[in-house]
Structure 1
Amino acid sequence: MKLKKILFVILSLSLLAYVFIPSKLRSDDLGKANKYYEKYDYYYAIEIYERLMKKGGNLEVAEKLANSYRFTGNTIEAEKNYAKVLSYPNFNTINYLYYAEVLKQNAKYEEAKHYYLMYGEREPSQADKALRLANSCDMARMWANRPELNIVVTNEESLNSDQSDFSPVIYQDGLIFASDRFFTQTKANPKNNKVYGWTGNGYIKIYQAVHDPKAPKDVFKLSALPNYINKEFHNGPASISYDGKTLVFTKSGVRKIAGKKNKETTSHNTIYFSTFENNSWTEPQPFEYNNILEYSVQHPALNKEGNVMYFVSDMPGGYGGMDLYYSEKKDGKWTQPINCGSRVNTPEDEVFPYLRGDGKLYFSSRGHLTMGGLDIFEVEGEKSAWSEPRNLKTPINSSKDDFGITFFGDNQSGYFSSNRNGGKGLDDIYHFVQKPVDEVVLQVAGQVFDKAKQIPISGLKVFLYNKNTGKEDAAVSDENGAFVFYLDQESDYTLRGDLDKFFSRQEGEISTKGVKESTIYNVKFEVERAEEAYLVRLNNIYYDFDKYAIRKDAEPELMKVVEFMNKVGDVNVQMQAHTDSRGKADYNIQLSVKRANAARDYLMQQGVDKERLSARGFGKTQLLNLCADGVKCTEEEHQLNRRTEFKVIRINPVTANLPSPLIKY
């Protein structure tokens, strides 16, 4: 099956005019490939980069080939090529992050976790972000293994093509959706064969699907909206007002090419309106706040009353990437857009909003904790006041991109789009229905609080151990400190918190034996946090080549360890020292032991009890990068491996009794 493109990227960046290029490119010219790459014509750049890699390649070719596959949503090939990038010396450390991202989208959660942490090690300023992303891999794996059993998802095959079909909106006896299929191409009319150089597919157009009364219920009759709506370049996705009289849609901004008569190209995306009058759609009119030269406005969605429009933009003043905004219609005019706020928006992209009839807002995000790519989230509220986003989890969400959801009037069924594995084309439209729960559902619904401040703690890993099967699951608390586990019947469990950051541990027992009805076990963890413990865990000290003396730049970090151990009396710390790959293995073991002992001795000189300290040397057995024997690396890359880490190896836990079930349904 062909692989997928990342739609929100395509609709977010400035787009280029179509090009007529043969399907097979004969050039092996790196300069030509780079020109395609710089113009976002990744479909054509990939062909040349692939041939250059077969001839030997280099870091530049490998990196741009990997990026091209990532930009076009081919995470399988992107994974292969980022692995090649990491085999070259002097690669940019951002590639650790990109590699982790595609691994996560390929549901390789343990590997992704490893490379997120590698990125944090190499980029200390991003350590918190890297740790959060690494922890999210545990959550994603749990959600993938615990799908919502009462939600049934099926591919709407009669709507889908080999290309991308997405963002369905229910309309009359069918729906409207966007697609880049070559629906209208003919040999006699080559203008309809325009190819978009980013994907190699057609330009996005808006289509209407209605049920064919002469065919089975799940078969649709397809037609494109009129040409004055589906003009050149991209048109869609679209939204329909609840009264069915207003069509509002994304459209490529179009501008003249300087110095070329009658030549046009696309620019930042815009929003247009059309109304249904006299049994047809009117000529589209632009949104007052379009700005084709500076930023995009796109992905519009109207509320039930039609007087508030939510949309996506990268206009100045946002939180980063694409943000959700709203505008109100007053006296026939739309007001200045206002950002929807930090509850929904993040430094990453929030895209594809949808307003359900009951007022709930749905959107897709990469910035909130996701299963891999874009995930669909739900919030309650309005304008810029919203609840914490709730991830819809599996089976609505997957490790791939999930977006463009819409509901029927019952609020229990509808459609969404996804590029998940097993589809018919690139992005497919899926039908979903939420059915009544007939079976017993057992769940732990917990929340983590800072004991001193009485505020929720996000990013804490919580473990659930099944005593009957020996299986251990992990979850990560969300922005509200919440975490969820599903339980098996007739089983005994131990629930405990993470030991890496929190040194007053709660641990308790849960049993589902004898429970015959669906039950939610409410659990509250109150933990005491030692901030310095976080520093001890992540801030290492480094050494000069073939030396074990403590450097001046290491002393401040060692003093943080001293301060931490003075504050947290129930911990022992082990110094774990490492070398780079140069030199013989036995010698490196001896050198690393000397380095660990030097760090231990320094702490003892500062008054730390020697009984609370231990030292261990690992030599070159635990490298943080690919600088192994025979690999050419910079001195900076080798120094990353010459380090001493501080690991808490013993605490005196505090055991807490968990409450009995509080909620039943």
Structure 2
Amino acid sequence: MEAKEKLKYFHQDIFRAMKIKKLLLLVFCSGIILYFFPTRLFSDDLGKANKYYEKYDYQYAIEIYERLLNENPKLEIAQKLANCYRFVNNTVAAEKAYATVLTFPGFEPINYLYYADALKQNAKFEQAKRNYLIYAERLPEKSDEAVKLANSCDAARLWLENPDRNILVTNEADFNSENSDFSPVAYKNGFLFVSDRQFLKPIKANSKKVYGWTGNPYLKLYQAQNTNDTLDGSLKLFLMPEQINDQYHSGSATLTKDENTIYFTKAGLVGGIEYGNTKDLVMKKAIYFSVKVNGVWSPAIPFPYNSPLNHSLQHPALSPDGKILYFSSDMPGTLGGMDIFYSENTGSGWSKPVNCGPTINTKQDEVFPYIRKDGKLYFSSRGHITIGGLDIFSSTGAKNTWTDPDNLKAPMNSSKDDFGVFYYQDNLTGFISSNRAGGKGSDDIYRFSEGPKELFFAVQGTVVEKQTGNPLEGLNIFLVNKKTGEQKSAISAADGSFKFDLSKEADYIVRGDLDKYFSKQQGEISTKGATESTVYNVKFEVEKGEEAFLVKLNNIYYDFDKFNIRKDAEPELLKVLDFMNSTPNVNVEMRSHTDARGKAIYNMKLSENRAQSAKKYLLDKGGDQKRLTAKGFGESQLLNKCADGVKCTDEEHQFNRRTEFKVVKVDPVISYVPNFFIYPNFPFKQS
């Protein structure tokens, strides 16, 4: 029995040992897994995100980059996440993401530009301006471009804060979806427009029918039918037939006058499928057209100058007579980015495309051309002065000869992207497309209408110290109606700004009365004959009186009963000349005096001679005749007690024989803001 018990316990010990060994092995293996698996998992996820990024499937990449950045913050992840948000045009998220990039050591200076762009599109103009200027400092070779962008922030803020009150812009809610809807054109008793909405039945994410860049279905052309020429909520939507809408994108369209030929954008994957290299799959855009025969659209026919392996063509727009096709492309011959080109219908085909020229095109993107019935060109641009992203511009001309583009300003433009304009026959109403705040989806269609012109006028300016450029707060600015004498006043704000509303057909003086600065700086503004609502912009650059208003000379003396300039006075006179040369906006008066000895009439004449003598000396040394005057005061302004009947020494009397130099008139130092602030026929003048 004892042996059996011993054997029993022996087996139990072996069993326990085996269990402990298995447990230890399990713990060891678990440790190995816990040690290596997270890194491997992180690496796999990063590789997957990067693969999405390289294939332009930014929406899928964002989800992974967001998580990885929280788990293991790195510059590479932060940079690519910020780029993704920029590419998908999520400016709010892009602003936050680029701000994060700037916290990592070693980031590229270009991120200041991207950050500033996002800030500007989010209407944070002062922050955007600062970051454009930092970009200019970090990359001096880009300083001209960066300073232009920084200055454009002032124009953007001005335009956004002063929208045209004659234009009403409203969201066409019944026309829009939660996705992108844009670029309507008239067709039959309704419209054609572009949308990536979910239609008929939902499409799952990661489906082949979903565009990874946006995470939405591919863009398609829709026909919206209604019973009249307005969008009244009874719209019926139809997908255009498969001859026009195929597997991938179908974009904005234009039609001939008889509506029997349609030109439109198509995009698809090229490079990898046809040539067997799956890493080179890219989405390229091209222009196609289709002809309606017996009510049926023909298969899509490529425009002869498509070259989807090399460049894109998109956004076709026909001239009213159908003889010229305008479009956007990055084909050879661009000035940079996408440019607007044109091709002419020769009767036997389309001519080789020609760039519309540097008046229209810039180093940035010019896209979405549209030709109104009267031949006026409308297009969107990032390269001209904009409020934010893409702004709509107009120009008159044809082919490659155009007037300088006009920004349509607010409310037609916003701090976001504005594009895809369409006008009705009256040239006063139509549609624009925009991703501005308050819409139903990412891009929405908005109706606009121009009412009778109710002109408004205002003056908006700033006061800065000339020496430093710093804004001056709390200074009085006056607006005076020259006819009625009515005077309004404003006090400059912390940023030096002030503003007045103006009346029609009136003449005004804008004046700055500044106690410690040059006084009576003023300029004239007239609204007479103005046919455009106008905001007049001025800047007062003022100088400190302590430094420039009064020039005191050190002991310029005249011999008794003499008015010639002594040698010991010449250095002090030259100081006045230097002052006038460095302060070209001032006029100076020589004010000469005598002592009290002699007759007052004689002393007056003597003081005038002394003043003229000082003036002549300065003129002989190169002084400006128009800026110099001379005046004698005789014994009327003594500096001490030595009046008639008071006994004084010769030195005390000589102290009164002096010439002072005083600024008696200041030509206004009013500098104008850059031209993009100013409406046509800007009539501000100095006086």
Per the normalisation by structure 1, the TM-score is 0.66
**Structure 2 CA distance for partners of 1:109 and 1:179, relative to 1, 3 Å:** same
The reply on whether 1:230 has 2:251 as its aligned counterpart is: no
Matches of 1:405 and 1:214, distance apart in 2 = 17
Q: CA deviation at 1:183?
A: 1.3
- Stretch deviating more after TM superposition (25-34 or 371-380): 25-34
Query: Of 266, 279, 288, which residue of structure 2 is paired with 1:251?
Result: 266
How many pairs were matched up? Answer: 485
Q: What do you get for the CA RMSD once the two structures are aligned?
A: 4.1
Pairing partner for 1:77 from 69, 87, 93: 93
Q: Is the 8 A contact 1:249 1:300 kept in 2?
A: yes
By how many angstroms is 1:172 displaced?
Answer: 2.1
Cα distance between partner residues in 1 of 2:219 and 2:205:
17
Which amino acid is the alignment partner of residue 379 of structure 1? Answer: S
Give the distance between the partners of 2:537 and 2:387, measured in 1 at CA.
Answer: 25
SS at match of 1:273: strand
Per-residue deviation, residues 387-434 of structure 1 (Å, max 9, x unmatched): 000000000100000000010000000011000000001100011110
Deviations 1:239-263 (A, max 9, x none): 1223322110011145462576999
Confirm or deny that 1:57 pairs with 2:73: yes
Letter in 1 for 2:491: G
2:569 aligned partner: none
The separation in 2 between residues aligned to 1:90 and 1:214, in whole angstroms, is 57
Q: 1:186 to 1:100 in 2, by over 3 A?
A: closer
| Cα separation, 1, equivalents of 2:207 and 2:47 | 30
Mapped partners of 1:353, 1:32: distance in 2: 38
Aligned to 1:219: 234
Aligned equivalents of 2:187 and 2:494: distance in 1? Answer: 43
Matched, 1:114 2:130: yes
Indicate the residue corresponding to 2:176 in structure 1.
160
What is the one-letter code of the residue matched to 1:225? Answer: M
> Retained in 2: the 8 A contact 1:377–1:391?
yes
Taking the aligned partners of 2:535 and 2:439, their CA distance within structure 1 comes to 38
> Which residue is equivalent to 2:582?
569
Is contact 1:362-1:405 (8 Å) kept? yes
| Higher relative contact order (CA closer than 8 Å, sequence separation 6+) | 1
Does 2:386 correspond to 1:365?
no
Structure 1 unaligned runs (5+)? Answer: 1-24, 447-463, 476-484, 497-505, 526-564, 573-650
Mapped to 2, the partners of 1:297 and 1:660 lie a distance apart of 39
Show the counterpart of 2:303: 287
1:306–1:129 distance in 2 versus 1, CA, 3 Å:
same
Change (3 A) 1:171 1:100: same
Letter in 1 for 2:273: I
Please give the alpha-carbon distance, in whole angstroms, between the structure 2 residues aligned to 1:204 and 1:309. 22
Residue in structure 2 matching 1:470, options 491, 494, 512: 491
Partner of 1:580: none
Listed one character per residue, the Cα deviations across residues 344-389 of structure 1 (whole Å, up to 9, x for unaligned) are: 0000000000000000000000000000100000000000000000
CA distance change for structure 1 residues 102 and 191 in 2, over 3 Å: closer, same or farther? closer
Residue ranges of structure 2 left out of the alignment (5+ in a row): 1-40, 462-476, 480-487, 513-520, 539-577, 586-664, 673-680
Q: If you compute each CA radius of gyration, which structure gives the higher value, 1 or 2?
A: 2
User: Contact 2:251/2:264 (CA < 8 Å) preserved in 1?
Assistant: yes
For the 8 Å contact 1:363–1:376, the answer to whether it is kept is: yes
Deviations, residues 469-502 of structure 1 (Å, cap 9, x unaligned) = 3367999xxxxxxxxx994449966399xxxxxx
Q: Distance in 2 between matches of 1:465 and 1:220?
A: 55
Q: Residues 543-581 of structure 1, C-alpha deviation per residue, up to 9 Å, x if partnerless? A: xxxxxxxxxxxxxxxxxxxxxx99973389xxxxxxxxx
In the TM superposition, what is the alpha-carbon distance from 1:276 to its structure 2 partner?
2.2
User: Are the counterparts in 1 of residues 209 and 247 from structure 2 also a CA contact under 8 Å?
Assistant: no
Per-residue deviation at 1:333? Answer: 0.2
Change (3 A) 1:473 1:385: farther
Q: Secondary structure at the match of 1:300?
A: strand
1:366 & 1:398 partners in 2: Cα distance? 13
Amino acid at match of 2:450: Q
2:289 is the alignment partner of 1:273: yes
Deviation of 1:219 (Å) = 3.1
Aligned partners of 2:92 and 2:535: how far apart in 1?
40
Mapped partners of 1:334, 1:494: distance in 2: 57
Matched, 1:341 2:362: no
SS at match of 2:81: helix
Larger helix percent: 2
Query: What amino acid maps onto 1:209 in structure 2?
Result: A
The Cα offsets for residues 101-121 of structure 1, whole Å up to 9 and x where unpaired, read as 000000000100110111011
SS at match of 1:89: coil
The separation in 2 between residues aligned to 1:93 and 1:387, in whole angstroms, is: 36
Give the fraction of aligned pairs with identical amino acids, expressed as a percent. Answer: 50
Deviation by residue 1:580-639 (Cα, 9 ceiling, x = unmatched) = xxxxxxxxxxxxxxxxxxxxxxxxxxxxxxxxxxxxxxxxxxxxxxxxxxxxxxxxxxxx
Query: Counterpart of 2:147 in structure 1: which amino acid?
Result: L
Post-superposition offset of 1:517 = 9.6
* Aligned twin of 1:543: none
Q: 1:471 & 1:233 partners in 2: Cα distance?
A: 57
Alignment of 1:91-240 (within 5 A): 91-185=107-201, 194-212=209-227, 217-240=232-255
> CA-to-partner distance for each residue in 1:478-532, whole Å, 9 max, x for gaps?
xxxxxxx994449966399xxxxxxxxx9513377xx99978789999xxxxxxx
**Do the aligned residues in 2 keep the contact of 1:522 with 1:661 (CA within 8 Å)?**
no
- Paired residue type of 1:294: N
| Distance in 2 (alpha carbons) for counterparts of 1:473 and 1:115 | 21
CA drift of 1:126 comes to 1.2
| TM-score when normalising by structure 2 | 0.64
